Structure 1
Amino acid sequence: MLVTQFESAAHKAINLSQTQSRKATAVPVRKAQALAGRGLTFWLQWITSSLLLTLLLLTLASLKTGTIEPQYRILAIFALLGSVPVYSLLRVYYKSHGYLIGLARLFSAWLVVLAMLTALAFVTKTSDLYSREVILTWGVLGFVVLAGTYIPLHLLARRYYQEQQALRTSLIIGTGELAHDLADKLVRKRKEPMLGLVSADDEPQPTDCLYPILGNLAHLRELIAVYKVRCLYLALPLASAEQIEGLYIDLLDANVDVIWMPDLNSMMLLNHSVSEIGGLPAIHLNESPLTAYPTAAMTKALMDRSLALVGILLLSPLLLGIALAVKLSSPGPVLFKQKRHGWNGQVIKVWKFRSMRLHDDKEVKQASRDDPRITRVGRLIRRTSIDELPQLFNVLQGRMSLVGPRPHAVAHNDYYTGKIAAYMARHRIKPGITGLAQISGLRGETDTLDKMEKRVEYDIAYINNWSLWLDLKILIKTPFTLFGKDIY
């Protein structure tokens, strides 16, 4: 019997999958399952922790004043409303996180919520209504409560998910590069028993396959029945569309989940995703994160403007001092305003402290090392990136973000468009004061095409992987990159 011939190889594949996947964390495959699993985990932990946080705040307020005053009830409501998007964007309750990573994200999210509440109290001029002792105690003990509920609930969620995943025996139809990449992810990043690969009729047989090839399509139903396969992945090239349709129709009565993995590796994708439009499946090849995730975009905008306002207030003595120094260093305005492309290519005026003498260059030229146009004060503020601080007002205006691809002069964009693939795709999100490229060593002059290509590569990577957590990491790392040798 055919199955007997492949039994040894199949059992070996299952053992390999189970052994390696013990060290991996589970990542959901299907979008519906992913949303359902994440939603259940999120809301269970959020409801538990929020109830305890609210109880803690009201208890502290009652102990302090002898009663629960209205402002503390309002504060609890705003904390609940603000925590949902922040926790979701920071992926606090994702099952795939280890305990340290999860606690770090939880701590960061709690700090963001506290910062948002502080900014709101400042703007509404209600900070005097609250006891500093109550708020500080709540801030400290609140994280203890969050951590205390997170650890046991996270453990239960992960164990339940792993038990469910262990029941999903799977096969991959295909033996090409896409099939091997998928097999690697199933074995190394999931707790999903993967039997092996099934060759399509017209596919060449690989000579160095790391996973057992259990047969071809003629053997498929026998393998499904004997090994109780629950999930089939169709990892075939787009050229095999007719074959994929035939397979799907043939497997409708096989009682297995059939998942098609489109081979899009050869395409330049930007924030790609899969959704449903009126019951029709849709693959989004190119989409701005700001339109794809409106709630996340709103949270990012709120965080940007809140932190920009706080930054302007805290740095106001420095801003005034630099403005005076620039004014005395050479004739001309304090601020330099240059037209640059913003979100979706819209032209905006980006503010900087003027660091150069007034000149009549007919073409926009990047600053270079020992540039004679730079003033003495300008050299200092450029070296420390202080000249970029007026862009906090651009952030406050909503034209820029704290984190995003650095905006280039319009003339530079016109020059590089057509010379670098997908160059203007970097404008599918708001430009930022700092970005992934800047903390990765790509600051300063881009005097060669290779340097600009590398910067664009990091900008596209930022858009594809954008999250509030990534923004926070970039903001934390930025101060450590301000004194690089390539800044002038």
Structure 2
Amino acid sequence: MIYRYATFIKAINLSIDYTILNISMVIAYLIVDKSYIFWASNKNYLPVVLVFNLIWLLSANITGLYEQVLNKDSIRTYQSVFKTYLLFVCLICFTIIIIIGTKAYFITREYLFYALALFGFLVGVWKLIFLAIRKSDRNLLVDARNVIIVGAGHIGKDLYHYFKTNTDKGYNVLGFFDDEPEKVIDRKLYLGSTDNCVDYVITNQVDEIFCALPVSDSGKIEQLMLDADKHLIRFKIIPDYYINSKKSMFVQNFDHIPVIAVRPEPLESMLNRMVKRLFDFLFSCFVIVFILSWLFPILAIIIKMQSKGPVLFVQLRSGRDNLPFKCYKFRSMRVNSDANKKQATRNDARITRIGAFMRRTNIDELPQFINVLMGEMSIVGPRPHMISHTEEYSKLIDQFMVRHFMKPGITGWAQVKGLRGETKTTEAMMERVEADVWYLENWSFLLDMKIIFLTVWNTVKGEKNAF
């Protein structure tokens, strides 16, 4: 269905949830605090407010709490709320108790209990109220529209089929207008010639005109557009050519010239690239200084004890724009001649004991933070493939090279969806490529945070394809 106020209601939901969260924190502060310092003046309290608010935003983004708020039924709504709240509590406890420490801001476990319990209760009551309001006023939110299609060629027929198979979109197609009646298969849907179109719309309460005429009829299209504007009728043009796929495309305007890009690329924005690069730099510095600095010598000794060869495995892999770069990993296999052409398999005899542990826990990938620091990789992105695999699969999979529009990553959307490890079939690689292209088209900083969280979570619980 078309919802007039979908974005507005989503914003209302988010705003009320945040209001409830902060009210809960203030009430818990008043219950627990004995210093009698006004909460807004307490410098130790305000950073905790920031942490709570940011973690709720991250949790809601990971679970998709605010997506399709008008479409989810009551059970799915409460499932989303429960998952978000549970994740929120876990992240709060981990962040404050383990990372920040309760002493730093004089946070007590009693305060955490009161704030989280009160927030959980109040947000549960609010969602119950929201569902009741939504049920009673749902009809006011639906915007069903009567439309007609001008042009009964293959484009017009495709559009009609879309509206008929996607009734939830709310479009009611009354019929076609075309100067060639034989193009309309169902005679009941033929409403007349294009010259009669505007008169019909005026007398039959039609909300929109969808024009699917070919570009050769540009004169008719311009006249219809002018007539629609004169009578306050919404007029939409379907391009004479479009790619026959289900993915969205991105339209830009070069002055009066519309340009259709086959895919949106958020990281083409300089600001987005700067944000991603800054995070990559800071995060990689943290890992190198606080983890690799002491873990590297320990693993180096164990790797050397278990097999001969270098500590690091260095391999040429395909990077951004398909430029090769040296990718670093802790060596998890015995030195062998197949390393640059054969993937690791389950129970692979080449893998050492420490190598098996490192691969299960993804520790072998840690040296790639050096690649990230050098700007050759990103923390999140498509996994870099061996040069030989790039050459092989680029011939078999049409979109394979698209993943090289961006830097490869230590982890990625395909990996957290379980599409990792050995690819025995072309179909398995195709699924991985589709996930990588989806990430390219839908990148956001919060999506990166979600992928990093899921990577850590999957490592803790274990993955069947990690070997």
TM-score (norm 1): 0.69
Question: What is the CA–CA distance in structure 2 between the aligned matches of 1:154 and 1:192, rounded to whole Å?
Answer: 22
- Residue 483 of structure 1 aligns with which residue? 464
Change (3 A) 1:396 1:47: farther
1:75 to 2:56 alignment = no
Structure 2 residue 224 is matched with structure 1 residue 251: no
Say whether the 8 Å CA contact 2:176–2:190 is kept in structure 1. yes
Change in Cα spacing, 1:158 to 1:335, as seen in structure 2 (3 Å) is farther
Equivalent in the alignment of 1:357: 334
* Structure 2 unmatched ranges of 5 or more: none
1:330 aligns with 2:307: yes
Deviation at 1:163, TM superposition (A): 2.6
Q: Please show how residues 419-434 of structure 1 align to structure 2 within 5 Å.
A: 420-434=397-411
In structure 1, distance between residues paired with 2:284 and 2:413: 19
Task: Report the equivalent of 1:172.
Answer: 149
Give the 5 Å matches for 1:177-256. Answer: 178-183=155-160, 185-186=162-163, 188-190=166-168, 192-201=170-179, 205=183, 207=185, 212-236=189-213, 243-256=220-233
List per-residue Cα deviations over 1:26-52 (Å, max 9, x = no partner).
Answer: 356xxxx7xxx4542233223322222
SS, match of residue 343 in structure 2: coil
Give the paired residue count: 451
Aligned equivalent of 1:51 = 19
- For residue 92 of structure 1, what is the amino acid of its counterpart? Y
8 Å Cα contact 1:305/1:396 also seen in 2: no
One-letter amino acid matched to 1:331: K
Aligned equivalent of 1:286, options 240, 263, 266: 263
- Cα distance in 2 between the residues matched to 1:414 and 1:192: 46
Q: Which amino acid aligns with 1:375?
A: I
Q: For 1:257 and 1:378, how far apart are their aligned partners in 2?
A: 66
CA 1:243–1:335 in 2, change beyond 3 Å: closer, same or farther? farther
* CA contact 2:6–2:70 (8 Å) conserved in 1: no
- What is the CA distance between 1:266 and its match in structure 2? 2.4
Task: From 92, 100, 104, give the equivalent of 2:66.
Answer: 92
* More displaced stretch, 81-90 vs 297-306: 297-306
Q: Displacement, 1:228?
A: 0.5
Which residue number corresponds to residue 9 of structure 1?
A: none
Instruction: Tell which has more relative contact order, 1 or 2 (C-alpha 8 A, sep 6+).
Output: 1
Greater mean deviation of Cα atoms: 166-175 or 269-278? 269-278
**One-letter identity of the residue aligned with 1:75:** V
Residues 109/193 of structure 1: CA separation in 2 closer, same or farther (3 Å cut): same
Shift of 1:53: 1.4
- Check conservation: 1:352, 1:388, Cα contact below 8 A: yes
Residue 312 of structure 2 contacts residue 330 of structure 2 at CA under 8 Å; is this kept in 1?
yes
Deviation at 1:375, TM superposition (A): 3.3
| 1:148-200 C-alpha deviation (Å, 9 max, x unpaired) | 33443466468767435445322233445554554455453536250333143
**Cα offset, 1:299, TM superposition:** 8.8
1:460 CA drift (Å):
2.2
- The answer to whether the 8 Å contact 1:288/1:428 transfers is no
Segments of structure 1 that go 5 or more residues without pairing to the other structure are 1-25
Preserved contact between residue 311 and residue 330 of structure 2 (Cα < 8 Å): yes
Q: Is the 8 A contact 2:332 2:364 kept in 1?
A: no
Q: What is the CA deviation profile of residues 355-413 of structure 1, one whole-angstrom value per residue up to 9, with x for unaligned ones?
A: 2223567x931325489882332673477364555268469858656654222134543
The verdict on how the C-alpha distance between 1:481 and 1:253 changes in structure 2, with shifts beyond 3 A counting, is farther
The alpha carbon displacement at 1:101 in A equals 4.3
Q: Can you list the C-alpha shifts for 1:301-321, whole angstroms capped at 9, x where unaligned?
A: 8699889979x9999999998
Deviations 1:236-283 (A, max 9, x none): 556665554343223222322122343664267987334667797664
- Cα offset, 1:229, TM superposition: 0.8
Assess if the C-alpha contact under 8 Å between 1:271 and 1:465 holds in 2: no
The SS at the match of 2:48 is: helix
TM-score by length of 2: 0.72
In the alignment, residue 245 of structure 1 is paired with which amino acid?
A: E
Could you say if the C-alpha distance between residues 147 and 290 of structure 1 is closer, same or farther in structure 2, counting changes exceeding 3 Å? farther
Instruction: Report if the CA contact (8 A) 2:179-2:193 is conserved.
Output: yes
Give yes or no for the alignment of 1:60 onto 2:14. Answer: no
Which moved further from structure 2: 252-261 or 231-240?
A: 231-240
RMSD of aligned residue pairs (Cα, Å):
5.1
CA–CA distance in structure 1, aligned partners of residues 121 and 268 of structure 2: 36
